[in-house]
Amino acid sequence: MTSHPVIFCDFDGTVTEKDNIVAIMEEFAPDGWQPIVKDILNESISIREGVGKLFSRISSDKRDEIIQFVLTRSKIRDGFQEFIDFTKKENIPLYIVSGGIDFFVHPVLENKIEAEQIICNGSDFSKEFIEITWPNACDDKCTNDCGCCKPSVIRRLEQKYPHSQKIVIGDSITDLQASKRADVVFARDYLIEKCEENSIPYTPFETFFDVIHALEKKEVRS
Ligand SMILES: [Mg+2]
Ligand SMILES: [Zn+2]
């Protein structure tokens, strides 16, 4: 590697093995949320609008139950702790950039990484129903209404780490725009298809041991 890396790693389906938002809806939302997910997937509404709508169906007093639910069911991908240790040893800044919501993302990552390294959406439980807040919304260069805008986050942090090699790790469509801005992409699942379609070089991975190994051996496609 020529320049020092900085890592932007997705959360749902990347750090955790499965997606949490849909699981939360299945468990806690009254029926009628499914068409909203469909609308998000076929892009007839933005991710920000859709995620806001989904959570607005759930009563604020479910907060602690949802946290327990996510903590109980979420399985962390193999090698994640070792990966964190590796980035510390190598002095590589690591950010978890997630379209998830703070109240369940932070507890899953507690005692693993610092809160400052987690970039995600926010939440407000002061009203009857859950309200999602958007501290990382799109900057003026993005018109996708992402919610947590990964390319905007990268643009912002690029200024903190000028000339660094940007590494993106992810699994799905929300990582595509970030992957276009990356120097190195680690992809699994649907993001592999999207990288192929867009001719973005990527290194496939299944566990974080694969990522550590590739970074140690400098066996990355870029
Ligand atoms: Mg994901
Ligand atoms: Zn955006």
Measure 140 CA to ligand 2 centroid, in angstroms: 9
Compute the distance between CA of residue 172 and CA of residue 137 in angstroms, rounded to an integer: 19
Quick one: pLDDT at residue 93?
A: 97
Q: Ligand nearest 178 Cα, by number? A: 2
Name the residue ranges covered by the structural domains of the chain.
Answer: 5-217
Quick one: pLDDT at residue 1?
A: 47
Measure 127 CA to ligand 2 centroid, in angstroms: 27
Q: Ligand nearest 100 Cα, by number? A: 1
Quick one: pLDDT at residue 100?
A: 96
Quick one: pLDDT at residue 149?
A: 97
Quick one: pLDDT at residue 41?
A: 84
Measure 61 CA to ligand 2 centroid, in angstroms: 30
Q: Which fold has domain 5-217?
A: Rossmann fold (3.40.50)
Low-confidence spans in the chain with pLDDT less than 70: 1-2, 221-222
Q: For residue range 30-55, list pLDDT tens digits in order.
A: 999 999 999 998 889 999 999 999 99
Measure 190 CA to ligand 2 centroid, in angstroms: 19
Compute the distance between CA of residue 42 and CA of residue 112 in angstroms, rounded to an integer: 35
Q: Indicate the residue type of 108.
A: V
pTM: 0.94
**Contacts for 50 with CB less than 8 Å, ≥ 6 apart:** 36, 37, 39, 40
Q: Ligand nearest 137 Cα, by number? A: 2
